[in-house]
Amino acid sequence: MKNTIEAVVLYLIIFQTIQIYECLHCYACNGKDECGISFSSNSSTIERVESKGDDFLDVCTISVNSEGITTRGLILSPMCRSSANQFCCKEDWCNSLPAPPLPALTSRTCRIDRCLGTNNKCDGISNIATLSSATESCTGTLVESEQPVMMTYKKKCAPGQYAATQDGSSTLAQYFCCNSPECNQQRVPSKVAIQCYTCDSRVTGLAGCSTLNLSSPHVYESGSSDSTEACATVIGFKGIDSFTNVTYPAFFIRTFIQHCNNQSLGNISYGGATFQGRINCCWKNHCNIENLYVTISLSVATEGLPSKIIGNDLRRISIIRIAIFVGFAFLISAVFIVYQFRRKISQYMYRPLLSDAPLPSTEPAE
């Protein structure tokens, strides 16, 4: 009975894995406006390509060269380097953005390999992929002997069982998730250390991310196996990319950060990008739920200002808000005191006089 259940579970996991990695579809084109900023998937000039057979290393891409010519297509993930001029993704038709999102995350990397290895390692040099979205996590299998080893990355990562396939045979293996550079080449426990919400408005827009909406298809519940990671919310003001001189809008990211430190409003760094914004960390499951749309709205007023001026302006706004609150509270207190005082005077002036003498007669005189 136990063997039957294990066989059924293995079959279901393999079936799910096949469904996920069956074939990758991407848009393909080359040109300026029609393939670039004015891209439309309905255009007759846009081709549709797909991976051939095993798509383990394949990704969709958007690349812009120095002459402003955009190329969309299908490439191998080790050939992609997330930058202001290149964006890669691993979902069907995901390279439909007008241009690579800014600011670019350039330091989020994962190992990519698949082999029959020992102690979670493959012989030789593994491929390295640069992740373009903060919703992606590195993942790898945790094996003790000669079993199929897989190192890759994925969205909505959750530690658990995985159907590892090598040379036509499949076995169940435990896999882990982590979010620091090339962390999946190390031995990380496959248990869940912390669960967080992940989304990246640079890629999918602010809707559902800046104001958390769990029903949004672009918001994920993800898990990490690394106990040194925390949930985080990252906010960026509207700014100008230093490499392309292109203006990007305010953005919002929910993700994992290893050894996370809160960073107040000002000039901050995340994922290899530097921008005006803030980072807030928390260390409980699904704790990165705060909505910072009020702070995002300030980006319009603070665009292009030095961080010192931004900080002074924000402190000034806070002081004004406190002064308004104190003044409002004082006004309410004053009105209440005046009301009570007038009420007492009214009661005293109109209170009836008590006397044992009979009231004067009001009958008319004869």
In the chain, residues under CATH classification 2.10.60 are 1-100
The radius of gyration of the chain's CA atoms, rounded to the nearest angstrom, is 31
Average pLDDT for 46-51: 94
Digit-coded pLDDT (tens) for 148-185: 788 899 999 999 877 655 555 566 778 899 999 999 98
For residue 145, pLDDT beyond 80: no
Alpha carbon distance 252, 249 (integer Å): 10
pTM over 0.85: no
Average pLDDT for 312-322: 57
pLDDT at 148: 72
pLDDT at 302: 43
Q: Where are the alpha helices (DSSP H) in 120-268?
A: 201-204
DSSP state of 205: -
Reported as a pLDDT band with limits 50, 70 and 90, residue 272 is very high
Reported as a pLDDT band with limits 50, 70 and 90, residue 116 is confident
For residue 352, pLDDT beyond 60: no
Type and span of the H or E element at 5? helix 2-21
- End-to-end CA separation in angstroms for the chain: 120
Reported as a pLDDT band with limits 50, 70 and 90, residue 144 is low
Reported as a pLDDT band with limits 50, 70 and 90, residue 334 is confident
pLDDT at 16: 41
Fold of 1-100: CD59 (2.10.60)
For residue 103, pLDDT beyond 70: yes
pLDDT at 309: 41
Region of residue 112 (phi > 0: left; psi between -120 and 50: alpha; otherwise: beta) = beta
Specify the range with the lowest mean pLDDT, choosing from 109-123, 249-263, 333-347: 333-347
pLDDT at 168: 54
Specify the range with the lowest mean pLDDT, choosing from 182-196, 208-222, 272-286: 182-196
